[in-house]
């Protein structure tokens, strides 16, 4: 019979037995190198990429929103500026149109008033003082203040539509005076106004006679013109009290006729 016992002097250690129990369902294998999800399972690579894309999309959305807000704000600002400029431009255009219409209306009225003056009427001075006449617009009225029937001065006043009350301060388009005074004496009364620069003097032939024409400040509140000419031993004065009648005044001078 074989002896299976170990030789004397040898120590035999028992081999430890390892029990490998099978993993129960639901147990998580130990894996220190794998990422875990919220459920404790490792995150799949596709889920990582999806989370990264979501973050990028969120950042882009924020940037786009900011750009949109800035663009909207700039648009509103520019619209407000454009609206203000447009409103101002419309107001300027309306003003310019109104001015042009007013200017055109004034021009048409002036042209109509000028046409209405024709044909001119004939004004005759007193026969005893020589034949003195001129033509004036037919739209003017005439008022004879002094007719010189019994001698003395002759005075007449002419003005569009109605003659204004006669005084040194009221304005009429034309004053006609034939003074029973020498030409030199009447002309001398204007010398002081010439010296202080209120009046200017030029000479011109009127009705075939050399006449003095004064222009400027003819009185304290009037700017116009005065013509003096000699008629026998008397002096004829034609005066306009306002510069607005100067064109009519010089046209009248061109029509003056004298027969001594």
Task: Flag whether 25 is in a domain.
Answer: no
83 and 204 housed in the same domain: no
In which domain, by residue range, is 94 found?
44-116
pLDDT of residue 11: 46
Q: What is the Cα–Cα distance from 183 to 186, expressed in whole angstroms?
A: 5
Which DSSP helix (H) or strand (E) runs through 174?
strand 174-179
With respect to residue 170, please indicate whether it lies within any of the assigned structural domains: yes
How does residue 71 score in pLDDT terms, banded at 50, 70 and 90? confident
| Shared-domain flag, residues 108 and 125 | no
Confidence of residue 86 (pLDDT cuts 50, 70, 90): confident
Whether 17 is in a domain gets the answer no
pLDDT-derived band at 41, boundaries 50, 70, 90 = low
Which residues in 155-181 are b (16+ Cβ under 10 Å) and which e?
A: bbbbbbeebeeeeeeeebbbbbbbbee
Examine the domain organization and report whether 227 and 254 are in the same domain. Answer: yes
The answer to whether residues 156 and 86 belong to one domain is no
135 and 237 inside one domain = yes
Determine the pLDDT at residue 40: 58
159 and 252 together in one domain: yes
Residues 112 and 214 in one domain: no
Is the whole model's pTM more than 0.85, yes or no?
no
Q: What is the mean pLDDT of residues 8-32?
A: 48
Asked whether residue 22 is assigned to any structural domain, the reply reads no
Per-residue pLDDT at 245: 97
2 within some domain: no
Answer yes or no: do 132 and 249 share one domain: yes
Residues 129 and 228 in one domain: yes
- In this prediction, residue 34 carries a pLDDT of 47
pLDDT tens-digit map of 187-236 = 999 999 999 999 999 999 999 999 999 999 998 889 999 999 999 899 99
Q: For residues 159-181, give the mean pLDDT.
A: 95
Between CA 132 and CA 56 the distance in angstroms is 108
Count: domains in the chain: 2
Is residue 35, in this structure, part of any structural domain at all?
no
């Amino acid at each position: 019979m074989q002896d299976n016992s170990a030789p004397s002097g040898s120590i035999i250690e028992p081999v430890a037995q390892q029990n490998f129990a099978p993993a129960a369902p639901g147990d998580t294998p130990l894996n220190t190198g794998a990422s875990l999800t919220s459920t404790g399972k490792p995150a799949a690579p596709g889920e990582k990429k999806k989370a990264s894309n979501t973050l990028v999309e969120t950042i882009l959305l924020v940037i786009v929103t900011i750009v949109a807000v800035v663009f909207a704000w700039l648009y509103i600002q520019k619209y407000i500026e454009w609206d203000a400029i447009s409103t101002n431009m419309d107001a300027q255009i309306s003003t310019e149109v109104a001015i042009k219409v007013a200017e055109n209306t004034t021009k048409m009225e002036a042209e109509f008033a000028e046409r209405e003056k024709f044909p001119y009427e004939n004004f005759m001075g007193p026969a005893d003082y020589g034949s003195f006449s001129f033509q004036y617009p037919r739209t003017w009225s005439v008022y004879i203040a002094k007719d010189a029937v019994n001698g003395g001065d002759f005075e007449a006043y002419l003005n569009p539509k109605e003659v204004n009350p006669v005084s040194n301060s009221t304005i009429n388009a034309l004053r006609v005076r034939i003074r029973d005074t020498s030409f030199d004496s009447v002309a001398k009364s204007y010398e002081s106004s010439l010296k202080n620069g209120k009046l200017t003097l030029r000479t011109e032939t009127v009705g075939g006679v050399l006449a003095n024409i004064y222009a400027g400040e003819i009185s304290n509140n009037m700017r116009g013109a005065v013509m003096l000419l000699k008629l026998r031993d008397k002096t004829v004065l034609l005066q306009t009290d306002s510069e607005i009648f100067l064109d009519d005044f010089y046209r009248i001078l061109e029509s003056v006729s004298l027969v001594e």
